[in-house]
Amino acid sequence: MKMVIERKQEGEARRLRRELEELREQIAALKTAVEEKPDYGMGEGDPSITRWELDQAMLGGLQERAVSLERQLRRINRGTYGVCEVCGKPIDADRLTVLPDTILCIECARSGGL
Ligand SMILES: [Zn+2]
């Protein structure tokens, strides 16, 4: 049983690393795109400014996602992925699907953890 879980986590770690790699490429590309801030003197509604703001917002979202993925990978590497950090019980798989980087089981979360 333990082996099965470990193998599943290996596959999960590979998937996360691949996603993280893609994310980092997107982040690098977006960073280059937002480096040149358009001139606001051209007035509101300039499509290049809207585009820049969208890129900025997207960059923020991608960076947050990358941080979350890194956290999940660290936990898998420590062998604690899917295990509640408070009570040490396995976290429900459905809960992990919805909240992949949660560190608490549903009981501990309800009793006011995070
Ligand atoms: Zn718990």
pLDDT in tens, 61-70: 999 999 999 9
CA 58 to centroid of ligand 1, rounded, Å: 34
Mean per-residue pLDDT of the chain: 86
Q: What pLDDT does residue 41 have?
A: 64
How does DSSP assign 80-110, residue by residue? Answer: -TTB-TTT-PBPPHHHHHHSTT--S-HHHHH
CA 26 to centroid of ligand 1, rounded, Å: 35
Q: What pLDDT does residue 9 have?
A: 76
Q: What pLDDT does residue 21 have?
A: 97
* pLDDT digit string, tens, across residues 76-107: 888 888 899 899 999 999 998 898 888 899 99
pTM over 0.75: no
CA 61 to centroid of ligand 1, rounded, Å: 29
* pLDDT digit string, tens, across residues 43-56: 666 778 788 899 99
CA 106 to centroid of ligand 1, rounded, Å: 7
